[in-house]
Amino acid sequence: MLKRSPPPSSSIVHLPLNVHGRDFGCGDIHGAYDLVIQGMRQAQFDPKVDRLFAVGDLIDRGSGSHRTARFLAQPYVHAVRGNHEDMLMQLYSDPLVDRPIEVVEWAAKRNGLNWWLDTPADAQKDILKSIRRLPLVIQIETTRGTVGLVHADVPAGMTWQTFLQQLDEGNEQVIETALWGRTRLNSKDDSGVVGVGRLFVGHTPQWEGLQKLGNVYALDTGAVFAQLNHRDKPGARLTFANLAMKTMDLTNVRHTPADPVDVRDGIVDDSPFGNYTR
């Protein structure tokens, strides 16, 4: 079994209020960067003042995965580590050891890593360097309260503050849930996460579009399958949403099935998010 890479020097990143622009989040990209660009255009994203937050799984499955280092180098981009980044980091947990090609080919078949085999060595190094910096959690201040981002889930019944503390202490079980957990979404658990205004997650595709469970919002809507034009996944799209917009506008938007990008933007005021912040 491959050894998990240690967490970055800071597993949790805190970002201040964006006083000049908007904060958008997007679901799992998996190399579908053309759809990200399309979403930015449709939202009239201004890279000078707006920020873009990704919930992880930037790589694998999609042929555009080699663009990840350039994406993360943009000053307006912020992302958390997903399980696919974690698996690649595990594969190269010791930077001084070259993995045998047989091991890499096995991972390519198992994890959708075929793009990696065609990526030049220098570009591979840049990608590894960039994803090793990714935190497990991003916490953002907004005019309405605190917004959190994590790739997969927070353990059921655990408060946001306890979750952050456990991650900071390196609790392996909590890290596993942050990267791989599906219990909340699969069971439609709407109990929410106490201690944070809103929490945005990815990892578990929502073929019917963005889903709200309590104060948890599932952003992964299968972007890469839309780009690959999978006919068996007609609901696949990239969701590109304003993180602090009014709940009714965020959850009630009707998506045009033919559009591979679902942009949700609207008014942001200073009304608090709700009861979960206690």
How many Cβ atoms sit within 10 Å of the Cβ of residue 119? Answer: 16
Q: How far apart are CA 25 and CA 264, in angstroms?
A: 10
Mapped onto helix, strand or coil, the DSSP state of residue 74 is coil
- Mean pLDDT for the stretch of residues 196-225: 96
Instruction: Please name the residue that has the structure tokens 């050891």.
Output: 97
122 burial type by CB count under 10 A (0-12 exposed, 13-18 middle, 19+ buried): exposed
**How would residue 5 be classed by pLDDT, with cut points 50, 70 and 90?**
very low
The radius of gyration computed from the CA coordinates of the chain, to the nearest angstrom, equals 18
**How would residue 2 be classed by pLDDT, with cut points 50, 70 and 90?**
very low
pLDDT score recorded for residue 78:
99
Are the CB atoms for 66 and 124 separated by under 8 Å?
Answer: no
Residue among 44, 25, 64 nearest 226 (CA):
64
**How would residue 152 be classed by pLDDT, with cut points 50, 70 and 90?**
very high
Residue 263 has pLDDT above 50, yes or no: yes
What are the tens digits of pLDDT across the range 101-149? 787 888 777 778 889 989 999 999 999 999 999 999 999 999 999 999 9
pLDDT score recorded for residue 111:
78
Residue 7 has pLDDT above 60, yes or no: no
- Mean pLDDT for the stretch of residues 237-242: 97
Instruction: Quote the distance between the C-alpha of residue 82 and its chain's center.
Output: 7
What residue ranges do the domains of the chain occupy? 12-81+135-277
- Residue 36: C-alpha distances to residues 45, 135, 237 (Å): 11, 21, 11
Residue 58 has pLDDT above 90, yes or no: yes
Domain 12-81+135-277, CATH homologous superfamily name and number? Metallo-dependent phosphatases (3.60.21.10)
Its pTM stands at 0.93
pLDDT score recorded for residue 8:
52
> Among the listed ranges 52-61, 63-72, 152-161, 244-253, which one has the minimum average pLDDT value?
244-253
Are the CB atoms for 2 and 91 separated by under 8 Å?
Answer: yes
Mapped onto helix, strand or coil, the DSSP state of residue 59 is coil
**How would residue 63 be classed by pLDDT, with cut points 50, 70 and 90?**
confident
Percent of the chain topping pLDDT 70? 94
pLDDT score recorded for residue 1:
37
Residue among 235, 263, 266 nearest 248 (CA):
266
- End-to-end Cα separation, the chain, in angstroms: 41
Q: How far apart are CA 113 and CA 105, in angstroms?
A: 8
The two three-digit tokens of residue 136, written as one number: 């497990």
State the average pLDDT for the chain: 91
pLDDT score recorded for residue 201:
99
Mapped onto helix, strand or coil, the DSSP state of residue 13 is strand
Mapped onto helix, strand or coil, the DSSP state of residue 110 is helix
